[in-house]
Chain A
Amino acid sequence: MPIQKGMEVSIAVSEAVKLANVDVISAYPITPQTHIVEHLSELVADGELKAAFIPVESEHSALSAAVGAAAVGARAYTATSSQGLALMHEIMFVASSMRIPLVMTVVNRALSAPINIWNDLSDIMAQRDCGWVQLFAINGQEAVDLTLQAFKIAEDPRVLLPVAVNLDGFVLSHVIEPIELPDQEAVDRFLPVFKPTLRLDPDQPVSMGAFGSPEVFIEVKKQVEEALIGSQKVAAEVWKDFGDIFGRTYKPVESYKAKGAEILLVTMGSITETAMTAVDSMREKGRKVGLIHIRLWRPFPFKEFFQAIREAKCLAVVDRALVPGGVGGPVGLEIKSALFEKKERPYVAEFVAGLGGRDLTVEVFAEMAAKAERYAKTQKEMRYEMIGVREK
C-alpha cells in the first residue's frame, strides 16, 4: 500500500509523469515550472524513466516537439508557465485541432508586464479558447492524480485532445505537502500503454495537418468542439475508474459546506484551501457561507455548476485574472453568461484578486464574502471589484 510522504509538489508531479511511463518529454525552463522538468531530466539521466528528454530551445519548440512525438504514437509531456505558455499560444490551437493527445502541466504565473514570477491565472486564462481540456489542482495530491488522469482523458479515442493540468506557481508548486504516490502496478492498470488511433507510420501512411479550405474548415472545428464537450463524459468515467482503483474521488465541480449556504465563494486552484479555512471560521460565527471550486474549467461543466449553486442566494466569484475592458474576470464572465438564461439566479458579486502573487489570506476571503453579502442586499449592478488595490 502506498503511504503518504512529505514532498515538494513539483517533484511529486514529475514522479506522476514517471508513473505514467511517458515516452517523450520536451521542455524549456521557466520559473516556476523548473523543478518539475529538472527532476524529470534526473529521472531520465538515471535510467529510472525510459523516455527521451528533449531540452528544446524555446517553449514554442517544446510544444511543437511534443506534437511531433505524439504524432508517431509516443506518450508526450511538457510543462511551462506564464511567458512560456504565451509563446506556445500558436501551437496550442494546432495541437487541439490536429487532435493530438498530450499532457502539459501549467504552473500558473502572472503574464508580463511588469515582469513578475508569482502566481495568478492570467497565463492559462489567455489560453482559454485554445480547445484544450483544462483542469485545476487545489493541492499536491490533486496535482499528482490529475496528471495521471489527464493522460487517460487525452488518449481516449473519443477525446484525442491535449490536456492542461494547472497548479499554482510557488504557493502550490514549491510547497511540501503530504502526498501519496500510487504504486506503479496500480497506475499501469489504470493507464495502459498509449494506443494511438492514427500515427505517422511508413507502413500505413497518413497526412496530418492538411490545408483546410472553407469547404471543410468549419466541420473540423465542429468536430473538435464536440470532442471537447464530450470529454466531460470521458473525464467522469476516468474519475470513476480512478476512484475504484485509488479510492480518491473527483468531480468537475466540488462543494464545501455548501448545504444551507446563502453565500457561496467560487474559486479555482490552490486558493481554495485557504478559502475553506475562511468558510470554517465564518460558519463558526454563524454566517451561512460555503464554497464551490471548479476543477474542470474546459469544457465548462454547466450542469454540475447549476447543481452546485442551486441553493445559493449570492455567489462571490474570485477571479485571478482580468478580462481587460470587459466585465471583470474570465470565471465571472463565464458564470454570468451561464446564468443569463436562468429565470431564478443568485446575485453574482465578482472580485478580481491575487494578481501577480498578491497574497490571498483567510481575512481577504472573509472580506470578499462580507462585501458580496452587502452587494447582494442592494441588488445593484456590480461589474466587479478589484480587491486590495492601493489607490494612492
Chain B
Amino acid sequence: MITEDLKDFKRFTPKTLPKEEPLVSGHRACQGCGEVLALRMVAKAIGSPMIAVSATGCMEIISSPYPQTAWAVPWIHVAFENAAAVASGVEAGLKTLMAKGRIPEKKIAVVAFAGDGGTADIGLQSLSGAMERGHDFLYVCLDNEAYMNTGIQRSSATPFGAMTTTSPAGKITAGQTTWKKNLPAIMAAHDVPYVATASPAYYLDLMNKAKKAAMIKGPAYLHVYSPCPTGWRHGTDLAIEVSRLVVETNIFPLFEVIEGKYVVRKNNKPKPVEEYLKQQRRFSHLTPELIQTIQTRVDAEYARLLKMEGMTESTPTKTETKEE
C-alpha cells in the first residue's frame, strides 16, 4: 500500500534538490522549451537507478541524435504508440531477472515518457493495457497540447479554440472545435494507486510528485503541463509564466488522485482565463464570446474537480501522504 511504499519519502526542498542530472544539457530542444524543462525536472527527481522509455516525439528526437545522447541513464525508444508496452516488457524483464538472481535485486524506476499525442491518441490503448495489468512503472505525459514534432497539428489534448495547423482559425471554425480529452480522469478510472497533474512553474510540487510516483509500487501516472513556445506562439522567455497562469486560472488545476481519493490544490480566487489566453498567439483569434465559453467551461470543470474531491473524501485509503 502507498503508506508503506512512501515510508521513506522525504519532500524536496530548494536545498535538497539532487545534483544528479539524468538528462544532461546539449540536447537540441527549441529555445524556451517548457517540455524539456519538465522532463529534466522529472528525471532529476527520480534519478538513478532508472530506465527511461521514450515514445517517438520531440523529447526523443532532441535527446538522441546518434551518435550523441543526452541521457546519462539507460534509455530506450521503440516507436510512437507503445512506450507503455515497452515499459511493461522492461519491468517484467527486470522482475524476472531479479527473481532468477541474474541481476542484483534493487528498485529500478521504470519511467515511460510520451507527449500528448503518444498518450491521448495513438498510445492510449497500450497505456490503458499497461495500467490495467498493474506493472510497477511510472508513465509521464508531457502535454504540449498538439503534435509539435510534426509541425503543430491538433491532438485530442489540444484545448478548445487553440489554433494548430490542422485546427486553423478559419472563416467558419475558430481553431480546435472540441474540448481537451481528460487524461488524468481516464487514468484515475483505471484505479491505479497514483495519478497527479503537475506544472513546471511549481517545480517542487512537480518533482515531489514525480518522486512519489516512482516510489509507489504499481502503475502511476503523471500528467505534466509542458509549454511549447514554438507551437503556442508565445515568447521564449514565457514558459514558466504561462505554466503558472494555467494553474492560477484553473485551466490546469494541480491535483493528486491517491488510491482513488482526489486531493486538489485549492485556488478559490482564479484569474480570468483571458489572462492566460492573451499571452499565446494560438488563441489570438478568439472572440470575447468564445473566451466566455472557455471561462464557463473552466469554472464548471474546476467545480466538478472539487466535487470529485468531496465525493472521494471518505474513500477508504490506506494512506496519508501529508500533502499540503
> B-contacting residues of A (Cβ < 8 Å)?
23-24, 26, 50-52, 54-58, 60-61, 64-74, 76, 90-91, 94, 98, 193, 200-203, 205-213, 216
The interface on chain B, measured as residues whose beta carbon lies within 8 A of the other chain's beta carbons, has a size of: 50
Chain A residues near B48 (CB, 8 Å)?
202
A187 CA to B301 CA, complexed, in Å: 61
Contact present for B82 and A64 (CB under 8 Å): yes
B74: A residues at CB distance < 8 A: 200-202, 205-208
Binds A, one of B29-37, B61-69, B204-212, B257-265: B61-69
* Residue contact A65 to B86, C-beta cutoff 8 Å: yes
Using Cβ atoms and an 8 Å threshold, which residues of chain B touch A203? 49
Of the listed stretches B87-95, B241-249, B277-285, chain A binds: B87-95
Measured between beta carbons, the chain A residues less than 8 angstroms from B97 are 23, 72-74
Chain B contacts for A65, CB-based, 8 A: 85-86, 88-89, 92
B87 partner residues in chain A, CB cutoff 8 A: 68
Write the chain A residue with the least CB distance to B82. A64
Docked complex Cα distance between A205 and B20 (Å): 14
- Taking Cβ atoms with an 8 Å cutoff, the residues of B that contact A are 48-51, 53-54, 60-61, 64-67, 69, 71-79, 81-82, 84-97, 99-100, 102-103, 108, 125-126, 128-130, 132-133
Residue from A50, A73, A207, A210 in contact with B93 in the complex, judged by beta carbons closer than 8 Å: A73
The answer to whether A50 and B129 have CB atoms under 8 Å apart is no
Give the number of A-B contacts (CB < 8 Å). 168
Separation of A54 and B95 alpha carbons in the complex (Å): 12
20 additional contacts (CB under 8 A) given A23-B93, A52-B96, A56-B88? A52-B95, A54-B92, A58-B126, A58-B129, A60-B81, A61-B126, A61-B129, A64-B85, A67-B86, A68-B76, A71-B89, A72-B97, A200-B51, A200-B74, A202-B74, A207-B75, A209-B54, A209-B64, A209-B76, A216-B66
Contacts of A54 in B (CB 8 A): 88-89, 92, 133
CB distance from B88 to the nearest CB of A (A): 5
Q: Find the B residue at minimum CB distance from A202.
A: B49
Decide yes or no: A211 and B64 within 8 Å by CB, A73-B102, A98-B78 being known contacts. yes
Q: Cβ of B89 and Cβ of A68 under 8 Å apart? A: yes
- Complex contact B92–A52 (CB within 8 A): yes
Q: List 19 A-B contacts (CB under 8 A).
A: A23-B96, A24-B89, A24-B92, A50-B99, A54-B92, A64-B78, A68-B76, A68-B78, A70-B93, A71-B76, A72-B90, A73-B93, A74-B92, A91-B79, A94-B78, A208-B74, A211-B61, A211-B66, A212-B66
- Cβ contact within 8 Å between A210 and B77: yes
A54-B133, A205-B71 known; A66+B76 contact, CB < 8 A: no
